[in-house]
């Protein structure tokens, strides 16, 4: 998109009339403002996590800083277990959701007729149903299946949430892939499954990577399902950190420290994945 | 954008000329493949979405209060109660739709601006992009807790800054409109990166030729944007708007964390109304009825949006 920049540079407008470098300065200021706006709440979170428990009420005034909060949080067994559980759930949910929705998106993309139409209308409608309409009964359903407060009890509802949206996005990925390679493979004796698995799937990898990163982040940060569908057996990190300010008194410094620890994996995933996300999301 | 390739059936060699019984067996094999592809997804969807929804719908026709252990069938009584509730009609519905329109419009505007900015090459672009993606990494509930804390009227940093500027501190979370504004800001902060990401991906996949033509014709930046970028980006934007509108309609966690629907239920959105009816007033049936009414409203709304979406995507082809 150098072309847009070049075009705007050539058509000399408002800024270049006033000051030759005014436009660059304006652009730089805008970039800095955007950075500040997006970073400020996170910056504040990090700052709070570094203050001692007595200093959090005047974060902007004090000058003492400490890393004791992190030490204290990590010495609590429930936090460590919650981090591990969250990591496992996010990873498993990503793998399983992508596996389940890749086939469904492929079906929507490659076939026409009543079955794909029905399936698409169904997932479109179920995508719209508000969480409150089914999260509460879901609690009873997972108890009926004896999977309440276990990995499966949180994983399967998560996959159910992702099915509608991901199938739709996957359809977009497969729509962008020319199916003639699959016909060629099928003429050469490949089965339909072979054409799907060996030809279409490798071509969809950029999109799958992008979706995997977003899915992982989403599950890692999810709160409502974790709150309702888990108890003491399977602590989840979002619930544990919210409890620092809800149930166990207002321990802002501990909540912030846990939140900063939970931010680190997400940060790593995003920083290394952003290129793939932008490349893969060209729906 | 979504350029639908020739479907399998059309491009497969000579399916039409086969005798009919052959065609039949082929159809079965194809149908079997289609069904096998969606079976795992359908199974999870039925067990963990359809079954709970039906359970909730069943509850909405019964008297589910604590003093009726038999759970008598009461028909549409819960529905009429919700639809006659002044709170629901005069506050919850306008709040929900107002919130939805405002958050989608603002995040689209900021997301598009940031996407256009990030689409240029400049030193430090990677850094700006990483900053913009920060809200995606923070759990929304933590962001909401943090923002509630920042807007706290005694200890919050926002009021400290206002005080520094010589403005009297505002008690943000005790008035309807300021509370609404804080919730809105949080939602825009959380979702702008999402818009920016998808729009940036869309911008980068646009073909360069129209922009070259515009440059040769010395079109101004604004006209290039208005007559080339915007129309070509429209399908991606429409998809974003549809998905995000549906999500914004059912927002729960950030409103719950920031205001809990308060002050005095003035910022309740529809998910919160259902939750409060079910758990604070301990009437699961009435909460379910509210949830079902909301679901019906949003499904109708989504179907309308879908028609619009279809038209735009068709036009763009």
pLDDT digits (tens, 9 = 90+) for A234-262: 888 888 888 887 655 677 888 888 889 99
Domain co-membership, A98 together with A82: yes
A111 interfaces chain B, CB cutoff of 8 Å: yes
Average pLDDT on A123-145 reads 82
Reported as type and span, the H/E element at residue A147 is none
- How many CB pairs (< 8 A) connect A and B? 322
Whether residues B33 and A193 touch (CB distance < 8 A) is answered with yes
Question: In this structure, what are the phi and psi dihedrals at residue B138, rounded to the nearest 5 degrees?
Answer: -90, 135
Q: Which residue of B has its CA nearest to A238?
A: B139
Quick: pLDDT tens for B204-214: 888 888 888 88
* In contact, B285 and B64? CB cutoff 8 Å: yes
* In contact, B169 and B153? CB cutoff 8 Å: yes
Instruction: Specify the pLDDT at position A98.
Output: 93
Instruction: Specify the pLDDT at position A20.
Output: 61
Which of A13, A37, A160 is facing B221, going by the closest CB pair?
A13
Give the gap in angstroms from C-alpha B176 to the nearest C-alpha of chain A.
23
pLDDT for residue B263 is more than 50: yes
Instruction: Specify the pLDDT at position A8.
Output: 47
Quick: pLDDT tens for B179-189: 999 999 999 99
Q: Which domain holds residue A60?
A: 2-69
Average pLDDT on B3-16 reads 46
Domain co-membership, A156 together with A24: no
In a mutational test of the A interface, the residue from B23, B41, B215 whose CB has the highest number of chain A CBs within 10 Å is B41
| Domain residue ranges of chain B, discontinuous segments joined by + | 1-60, 78-316
Radius of gyration from C-alpha coordinates of chain A: 24
pLDDT for residue A16 is more than 60: no
Question: Percent of chain B at pLDDT above 90?
Answer: 14
Average pLDDT on B251-260 reads 85
Question: Percent of chain B at pLDDT above 70?
Answer: 88
A225/A243 Cα distance (integer angstroms):
15
Query: CA angle, corner A124, sides to A103 and B60, nearest 5?
Result: 120
Torsion, Cα of B266, B269, B271, B276 (10° steps): 0
Whether residues B204 and A126 touch (CB distance < 8 A) is answered with no
Question: In this structure, what are the phi and psi dihedrals at residue B277, rounded to the nearest 5 degrees?
Answer: -60, -45
pLDDT higher at B292 or A282: B292
Which of A128, A141, A163 is facing B41, going by the closest CB pair?
A163
Query: CA angle, corner A117, sides to A115 and A121, nearest 5?
Result: 120
Give the gap in angstroms from C-alpha B163 to the nearest C-alpha of chain A.
13
Instruction: Specify the pLDDT at position A1.
Output: 45
A152 interfaces chain B, CB cutoff of 8 Å: no
Which of B3, B218, B270 is facing A10, going by the closest CB pair?
B218
* DSSP H stretches of helix in chain A: 2-10, 14-18, 22-49, 68-74, 77-110, 114-128, 132-144, 151-175, 180-187, 192-194, 201-203, 205-221, 224-229, 237-246, 252-280
Helix axes A252-280, B140-150, angle to 10 degrees: 130
In a mutational test of the B interface, the residue from A58, A113, A130, A159 whose CB has the highest number of chain B CBs within 10 Å is A130
Average pLDDT on A93-112 reads 92
Question: 3-state DSSP call for residue A166?
Answer: helix
The ipTM, to two decimals, is 0.80
CA distances from B117 to A35, A218, A272, B256 (A): 12, 26, 21, 34
Helix axes B125-132, B176-204, angle to 10 degrees: 140
Query: CA angle, corner B92, sides to B88 and B93, nearest 5?
Result: 90
Which residues does chain B have within 8 Å of residue A16's beta carbon, measured at their own beta carbons?
A: none
A172 interfaces chain B, CB cutoff of 8 Å: yes
Q: Report the CATH number at residue A214.
A: 1.10.3720.10
Average pLDDT on B44-57 reads 88
A257 interfaces chain B, CB cutoff of 8 Å: no
pLDDT higher at A278 or B16: A278
Q: Work out the mean pLDDT of chain A and round it to a whole number.
A: 82
B192/B81 Cα distance (integer angstroms):
38
Domain co-membership, A52 together with A145: no
Reported as type and span, the H/E element at residue A112 is none
B29/B12 Cα distance (integer angstroms):
14
Instruction: Specify the pLDDT at position B18.
Output: 43
DSSP output for A182-199: HHHHHHTT--HHHIIIII
Whether residues A137 and B122 touch (CB distance < 8 A) is answered with no
Instruction: Specify the pLDDT at position B111.
Output: 93
Instruction: Specify the pLDDT at position A100.
Output: 92
Average pLDDT on A45-68 reads 76
Domain co-membership, A59 together with A154: no
Average pLDDT on B122-140 reads 85
Query: CA angle, corner B276, sides to B275 and B278, nearest 5?
Result: 65
Region of poorest pLDDT, from A124-128, B3-7, B181-185, B205-209: B3-7
Instruction: Specify the pLDDT at position B231.
Output: 85
Instruction: Specify the pLDDT at position B68.
Output: 66
Average pLDDT on B268-291 reads 84
Instruction: Specify the pLDDT at position A244.
Output: 80
A107 interfaces chain B, CB cutoff of 8 Å: yes
Instruction: Specify the pLDDT at position A103.
Output: 92
A264 interfaces chain B, CB cutoff of 8 Å: no
Domain co-membership, A262 together with A154: yes
A15 interfaces chain B, CB cutoff of 8 Å: no
Instruction: Specify the pLDDT at position A32.
Output: 87
Give the gap in angstroms from C-alpha A238 to the nearest C-alpha of chain B.
7
Paired with B73 in beta bridges are: B62
B252/A227 Cα distance (integer angstroms):
13
Region of poorest pLDDT, from A142-156, A168-182, A238-252, B232-246: A238-252
pLDDT for residue B16 is more than 50: no
Which of A41, A111, A192 is facing B150, going by the closest CB pair?
A41
Whether residues A34 and B205 touch (CB distance < 8 A) is answered with no
- First and final C-alpha spacing in chain B: 7
Region of poorest pLDDT, from A74-83, B88-97, B105-114, B301-310: B301-310
Query: CA angle, corner A13, sides to A7 and A14, nearest 5?
Result: 145
* In contact, A179 and B8? CB cutoff 8 Å: yes
A148's CB contacts (< 8 A; 6+ apart) are A139, A142, A229, A231
Average pLDDT on B108-134 reads 88
Domain co-membership, A100 together with A133: yes
Torsion, Cα of B198, B302, A166, B315 (10° steps): -60
Number of domains within chain A = 2
In a mutational test of the B interface, the residue from A95, A137, A242 whose CB has the highest number of chain B CBs within 10 Å is A137
Domain co-membership, A18 together with A134: no
Domain co-membership, A51 together with A179: no
Q: Which residue of A has its CA nearest to B189?
A: A38
Instruction: Specify the pLDDT at position B102.
Output: 95
Cβ-defined contacts of B264-268 (< 8 Å, 24+): B265/B87, B265/B91, B266/B91, B266/B176, B266/B179, B267/B95, B267/B176, B267/B179, B267/B180, B267/B183, B268/B87, B268/B91, B268/B92, B268/B95
Which residues does chain A have within 8 Å of residue B291's beta carbon, measured at their own beta carbons?
A: 130, 132-133
Domain boundary among A69, A91, A109: A69
Report the sign of the C-alpha dihedral through residues A175, A180, A183, A188, in that order.
negative
Domain co-membership, A143 together with A231: yes
Instruction: Specify the pLDDT at position B115.
Output: 92
For chain B, give the number of residues.
Answer: 317
pLDDT for residue A92 is more than 90: yes
Q: How many CB atoms lie within 10 A of CB B161?
A: 13
Q: How many CB atoms lie within 10 A of CB B105?
A: 12
Which residues does chain B have within 8 Å of residue A34's beta carbon, measured at their own beta carbons?
A: 114, 117, 128, 131-132
Which residues does chain A have within 8 Å of residue B133's beta carbon, measured at their own beta carbons?
A: 270, 274
A228's CB contacts (< 8 A; 6+ apart) are A135, A136, A138, A139
Quick: pLDDT tens for A173-217: 888 888 888 888 888 888 888 888 888 888 888 888 888 988 999
pLDDT for residue B23 is more than 70: no
Domain co-membership, A33 together with A56: yes
Question: In this structure, what are the phi and psi dihedrals at residue A73, rounded to the nearest 5 degrees?
Answer: -65, -45
Instruction: Specify the pLDDT at position B109.
Output: 94
* DSSP H stretches of helix in chain B: 8-11, 20-45, 51-60, 77-84, 86, 93-118, 125-132, 134-137, 140-150, 157-164, 176-204, 209-216, 221-224, 230-249, 253-258, 270-275, 284-316
Whether residues A60 and B141 touch (CB distance < 8 A) is answered with no
Question: 3-state DSSP call for residue B266?
Answer: coil
Topology of domain B78-316 in CATH is MetI-like fold (1.10.3720)
């Amino acid at each position: 998109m150098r072309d847009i920049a070049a075009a705007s540079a050539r058509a000399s407008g408002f800024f270049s009339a006033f000051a030759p470098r005014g436009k660059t300065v304006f652009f730089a200021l805008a970039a800095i403002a955007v950075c500040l706006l997006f970073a400020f709440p996170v910056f504040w979170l990090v700052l709070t996590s570094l203050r001692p428990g007595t200093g959090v009420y005047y974060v902007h005034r004090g000058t003492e800083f400490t890393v004791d909060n992190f030490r204290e949080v990590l010495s609590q067994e429930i936090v460590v277990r919650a981090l591990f559980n969250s990591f496992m759930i996010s990873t498993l949910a990503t793998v399983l959701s992508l596996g389940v929705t890749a086939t469904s998106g492929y079906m929507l993309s490659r076939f026409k007729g009543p079955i794909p139409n029905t399936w698409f209308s169904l997932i479109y409608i179920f995508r719209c149903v508000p969480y409150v309409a089914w999260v509460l009964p879901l609690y009873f359903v997972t108890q009926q299946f004896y999977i309440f407060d276990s990995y499966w009890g949180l994983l399967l509802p998560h996959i159910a949430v992702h099915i509608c949206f991901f199938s739709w996005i996957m359809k977009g990925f497969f729509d962008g892939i020319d199916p003639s390679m699959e016909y060629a493979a099928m003429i050469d004796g490949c089965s339909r499954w072979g054409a799907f698995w060996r030809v279409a799937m490798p071509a969809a990898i950029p999109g799958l990577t992008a979706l995997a990163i977003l899915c992982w982040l989403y599950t890692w940060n999810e709160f409502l399902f974790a709150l309702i569908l888990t108890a003491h057996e399977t602590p989840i990190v979002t619930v544990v950190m919210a409890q620092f300010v809800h149930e166990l008194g207002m321990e802002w410094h501990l909540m912030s420290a846990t939140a900063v620890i939970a931010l680190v994996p997400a940060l790593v995933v995003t920083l290394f994945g952003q290129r793939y996300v932008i490349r893969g999301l060209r729906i | 954008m979504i350029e639908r390739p020739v479907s399998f059936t059309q491009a497969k060699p000579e399916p039409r000329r086969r005798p009919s019984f052959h065609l039949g067996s082929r159809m079965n094999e194809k149908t079997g493949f289609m069904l096998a592809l969606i079976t795992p997804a359908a199974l999870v969807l039925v067990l963990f979405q359809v079954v709970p929804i039906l359970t909730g719908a069943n509850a909405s026709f019964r008297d589910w209060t604590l003093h009726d252990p038999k759970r008598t069938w009461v028909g549409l009584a819960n529905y009429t109660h919700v639809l006659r509730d002044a709170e629901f009609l005069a506050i919850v519905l306008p709040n929900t739709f107002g919130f939805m329109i405002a958050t989608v419009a603002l995040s689209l505007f900021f997301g598009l601006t940031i996407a256009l900015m990030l689409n240029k090459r400049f030193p430090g672009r990677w850094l700006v992009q990483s900053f913009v993606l920060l809200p995606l990494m923070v759990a929304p509930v933590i962001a909401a807790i943090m923002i509630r804390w920042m807007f706290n009227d005694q200890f919050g940093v926002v009021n400290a800054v206002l005080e520094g500027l010589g403005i009297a501190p505002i008690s943000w979370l005790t008035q309807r409109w300021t509370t609404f504004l804080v919730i809105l800001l949080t939602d825009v902060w959380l979702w702008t990166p999402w818009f920016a990401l998808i729009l940036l991906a869309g911008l980068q996949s646009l073909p360069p030729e129209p922009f070259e033509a515009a440059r040769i014709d010395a079109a101004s930046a604004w006209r290039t944007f208005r007559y080339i970028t915007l129309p070509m980006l429209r399908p991606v934007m429409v998809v974003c708007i549809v998905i995000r509108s549906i999500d914004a309609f059912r927002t729960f966690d950030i409103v719950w964390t920031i205001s809990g629907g308060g002050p005095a239920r003035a910022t309740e959105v529809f998910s919160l109304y259902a939750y409060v009816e079910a758990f604070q007033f301990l009437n699961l049936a009435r909460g379910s009825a509210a949830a079902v009414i909301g679901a019906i409203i949003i499904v109708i709304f989504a179907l309308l949006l879908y028609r619009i979406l279809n038209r735009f995507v068709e036009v763009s082809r």
